[in-house]
């Protein structure tokens, strides 16, 4: 690409990420960061690439940088909570998801994420409450039915 426009590389990186062309996406987001090191979006998208590649520590570093550059956004905290959940850092994941919720996260899925974290921490009553909150506010789609099944299993005392 001849353009020095960070936006052009960003858009191409997004397309590569959607197509699971992770090496291409990584290269483009590296250029975005080089051209616009004070913009959070390059770090945020690169963190997604690293997560999909299984490079969780690198993903965490980029999410930390994203939050440093854009501390008032809810989405990076939710993403870091999900990543920390994958890393089995449940207490830190809970802190992050609560920050995301407190920053007025618009996506009701944050309640499912927090319910899953509560379940991992053995806090069944809190998990049930969050699943119920999600089911009250979310549209009835595939995720809704999955949350409903998870709530039923939790109430029945089953793990999966």
Please check the confidence at residue 121 and state whether its pLDDT lies above 60: yes
Q: Are residues 95 and 66 in the same domain?
A: no
In terms of pLDDT, which residue wins out, 66 or 103?
66
Average pLDDT over residues 6-29: 97
Contacts of residue 68, defined as CB under 8 A and 6 or more positions apart, other chains included, come to none
In a domain, 31, yes or no: yes
User: Do 158 and 100 fall within a single domain?
Assistant: yes
- Shared domain check, 142 and 91: yes
Long-range contacts of 98-107 (CB under 8 A, 24+ apart): 99/74, 100/74, 100/75, 101/74, 103/72, 103/73, 103/74, 103/77, 104/74, 105/74, 105/75, 105/77, 105/78, 106/74, 107/75, 107/78
Residues 97 and 64 in one domain: no
**Residue 111 falls within a domain, yes or no?**
yes
- Degrees to nearest 5, angle at CA 75 with 71 and 80: 85
Check whether residue 147 and residue 83 sit in a common domain. yes
Decide if 65 contacts 85 (C-beta within 8 A): no
> What is the overall mean pLDDT for the chain?
94
Quote the CA–CA distance of 44 and 111 in Å, as a whole number.
Answer: 21
Whether residue 2 lies inside any domain: the answer is no
In this structure, are 92 and 143 located in the same domain? yes
Q: Are residues 128 and 53 in the same domain?
A: no
1 within domain boundaries: no
pLDDT grade, residue 157 (50/70/90)? confident
Q: Are residues 26 and 64 in the same domain?
A: yes
Residue 2's pLDDT band (cuts 50, 70, 90):
very low
Q: What CATH number has the domain bearing residue 40?
A: 1.25.40.10
Residues 50-79, mean pLDDT to the nearest whole number: 97
Contact 52, 29 (CB under 8 A): no
CA quadruple 137, 154, 93, 24: dihedral positive or negative? negative
Instruction: Let me know whether 53 and 110 are in one domain.
Output: no
Co-location of 100 and 65 in the same domain? no
- pLDDT tens across 22-62, in order? 999 999 999 999 999 999 999 999 999 999 999 999 999 99
Q: How far apart are the first and last CA of the chain?
A: 47
Number of domains into which the chain is organized: 2
Assigned domain for 27 exists: yes
Structural domain span for residue 12:
7-71
Which of 43, 71, 99 is the endpoint of a domain? 71
């Amino acid at each position: 690409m001849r353009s020095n426009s960070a936006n052009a590389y960003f858009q191409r990186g997004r397309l590569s990420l959607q197509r699971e062309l992770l090496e291409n996406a990584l290269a483009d987001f590296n250029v975005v960061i080089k051209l616009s090191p004070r913009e959070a979006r390059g770090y945020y998208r690169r963190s997604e690439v690293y997560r999909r590649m299984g490079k969780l520590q690198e993903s965490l570093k980029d999410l930390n940088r994203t939050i440093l550059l854009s501390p008032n956004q809810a989405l990076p905290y939710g993403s870091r909570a999900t990543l920390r959940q994958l890393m089995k850092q449940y207490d830190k994941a809970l802190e992050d998801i609560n920050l995301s919720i407190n920053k007025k996260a618009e996506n009701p899925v944050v309640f499912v994420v927090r319910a899953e974290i509560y379940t991992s921490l053995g806090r069944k009553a809190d998990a049930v409450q969050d699943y119920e909150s999600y089911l009250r506010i979310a549209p009835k789609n595939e995720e809704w039915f999955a949350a409903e099944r998870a709530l039923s299993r939790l109430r029945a005392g089953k793990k999966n």
